[in-house]
């Protein structure tokens, strides 16, 4: 079958032919129909992601498709079921074998493309804002990189949770995307972030997907007892946090890593995905997918992420045979 894989450490990912993996007793074989791209895929190519697998491996962290086979110990799924799987790897292929306890049944109303776009971006934001930061109605949420894959979902979920949302992004087109997702106030990346946020009353919760100088400015615009969520470092620099400033304003910096929960509290991820799928079926959330590309154009999709030319999610549609 075809897959977009990394064969040796340091080699570029490429489309190649690989054999089907054997099916274990507690696993399911999925005919993959769609796979979401993530910034972590770029880091895995460089070998700098915290969960980069040993080579050879296939990229692709979140998939949706149809169950083609089940292991001997799997009783809750059957061939023909439509499912989503937060796979961590192996998604950019025509087929894959995954642990059955990671598969979640899709609502009839959810497309494969939406299911592939919803898991990591929405799951990260939902767990970050509800489970970790305990965002409350009436609080002010600042989202940096607000038109990106995770930032846009934070805008949408923050608004659903009753917050006033300040969105920061680069350029009017991206700010308009954030506004359409529910942002109350818009700040261009070229403006003085600290001054603008403080003029709006400061931030109670900061959801930062950029890092670097943007995080520093947001840090200084956070209200006493505020909570800061360093989600990613798309700007390239991991910020160094001055502990003495945390003391002065009683601030909390809270780590969030969706994949980490699968290792010690997987029910947090399952419950979050169930909530998100329910919200989707009710029409309360709708993934913003800027590009849908075929498997042979994965490199183009990753370039869009690297060059920050996409908004929301880039999804790969895989026309796998059943």
Model-wide pTM > 0.95? no
**63 within some domain:** yes
Query: Does 184 fall in a domain?
Result: yes
CB-based contact 249:218 (threshold 8 Å): no
Q: Is 94 helix (H, G, I), strand (E, B) or coil?
A: coil
Are 138 and 248 in the same domain? yes
Structural domain containing residue 240: 134-253
| Residue 106: cis peptide before it, omega within 30 degrees of 0 | no
Same domain, 199 and 175: yes
Round to whole Å and give the CA distance between 130 and 303. 32
Asked if residue 205 belongs to a domain, the reply is: yes
pLDDT tens figures, 33-88: 999 999 889 889 888 887 888 889 999 999 999 999 999 999 999 999 999 999 99
What's the CA gap between 163 and 70, in Å, rounded? 43
- Whether residue 247 sits in one domain with residue 185: yes
Q: Are 304 and 314 in contact (CB under 8 A)?
A: yes
Same domain, 285 and 312: yes
Give the total number of structural domains in the chain: 2
Contact 197, 179 (CB under 8 A): no
* Same domain flag for 216 and 270: no
* Cβ atoms of residues 295 and 15 within 8 Å: yes
User: CB 106: neighbour CB atoms within 10 A?
Assistant: 22
pLDDT top residue among 149 and 247: 247
C-alpha of 174 from chain center: 18
Whether 124 maps to a domain, the answer reads: no
238 touches 216 (CB < 8 A)? no
Query: What proportion of the chain, given as a percentage, has pLDDT over 70?
Result: 99
For residue 5, what pLDDT is reported? Answer: 93
**Domain match, 88 and 178 both:** no
- In this predicted structure, the answer to whether residue 321 has a pLDDT above a threshold of 80 is no
Strands (E), 37-99: 57-58, 62-70, 82-86, 95-99
Same domain, 242 and 291: no
> 22 versus 233: which is more confidently predicted?
22
**Quick one: pLDDT at residue 322?**
45
Looking at the domain assignment, is residue 125 inside a domain? no
The CATH number of whichever domain residue 50 belongs to comes to: 3.90.180.10
Q: What is the DSSP letter of 88?
A: S
Asked whether residue 69 is assigned to any structural domain, the reply reads yes
Taking the C-alpha atoms of residue 248 and residue 242, their distance in angstroms, rounded to an integer, is 11
Predicted confidence (pLDDT) per residue in 125-172, tens digit: 999 999 999 999 999 999 999 998 899 999 999 999 999 999 999 999
Specify whether 91 is located in the same domain as 154. Answer: no
What's the mean per-residue pLDDT of the chain?
93
Q: What is the pLDDT of residue 262?
A: 86
> Final residue of a domain: which of 253, 274, 289?
253
Q: Is 258 within the bounds of a domain?
A: no
* CATH code, domain with 190: 3.40.50.720
Which of 211, 230, 253 represents a domain boundary (last residue)? 253
Q: How confident is the model at residue 293 (pLDDT cuts 50, 70, 90)?
A: very high
Q: Which of 253, 274, 290 is the last residue of a domain?
A: 253
Residue 9 and residue 112 share a domain: yes
Q: Provide the pLDDT for residue 43.
A: 87
Asked if residue 239 and residue 156 are part of one domain, the reply reads yes
Q: Per-residue pLDDT tens for 171-180? A: 999 999 999 9
**Same structural domain, 199 and 280:** no
261-264, Cβ contacts within 8 angstroms, sequence gap of 24 or more:
261/127, 262/86, 262/88, 262/102
CA 176 to chain CA mean position, Å: 21
Per-residue CA distances from 100 to 29, 91, 178, 228, 291 (Å): 9, 15, 35, 34, 29
Asked if residue 156 is part of any domain, the answer here is: yes
Shared domain for 159 and 110, answered yes or no, is no
Q: Angle of helix 172-180 relative to helix 151-160, nearest 10 degrees?
A: 30
């Amino acid at each position: 079958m075809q897959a977009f894989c990394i064969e040796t450490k340091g080699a570029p990912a490429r489309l190649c032919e690989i054999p089907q993996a054997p099916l274990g007793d507690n696993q399911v074989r999925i005919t993959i129909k769609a796979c979401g791209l993530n910034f972590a895929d770029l880091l895995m190519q460089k070998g700098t992601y915290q969960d980069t697998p040993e080579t050879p491996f296939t990229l692709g962290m979140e998939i949706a498709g149809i169950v083609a086979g089940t292991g001997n110990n799997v009783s809750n799924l059957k061939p023909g079921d439509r499912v989503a799987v937060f796979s961590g790897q192996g998604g950019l292929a025509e087929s894959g074998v995954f642990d059955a306890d990671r598969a979640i049944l899709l609502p009839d109303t959810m497309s494969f493309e939406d299911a592939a776009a919803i898991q990591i971006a929405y799951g990260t934001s939902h767990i970050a804002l509800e489970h970790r930061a305990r965002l409350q109605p009436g609080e002010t949420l600042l989202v940096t990189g607000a038109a990106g894959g995770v930032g846009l979902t934070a805008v949408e979920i923050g608004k659903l949770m009753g917050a006033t949302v300040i969105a920061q992004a680069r350029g009017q087109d991206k700010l308009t995307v954030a506004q359409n997702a529910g942002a109350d106030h818009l700040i261009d990346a070229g403006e003085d972030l600290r001054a603008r946020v403080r003029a709006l009353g400061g931030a109670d919760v900061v959801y930062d997907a950029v890092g670097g100088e943007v995080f520093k400015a947001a840090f200084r615009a956070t209200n006493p007892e505020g909570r800061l969520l360093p989600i990613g470092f798309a700007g390239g620099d991991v910020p160094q946090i001055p502990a003495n400033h945390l003391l002065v304003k009683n601030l909390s910096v809270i780590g969030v890593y969706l994949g980490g929960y699968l290792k010690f509290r997987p029910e947090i991820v399952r419950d979050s995905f169930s909530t998100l799928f329910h919200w989707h079926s009710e029409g309360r959330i709708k993934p913003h997918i800027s590009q849908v590309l075929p498997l042979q154009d994965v490199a183009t999709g990753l370039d869009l992420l690297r060059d920050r030319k996409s908004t929301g999610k880039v999804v790969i549609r895989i026309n796998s045979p059943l």
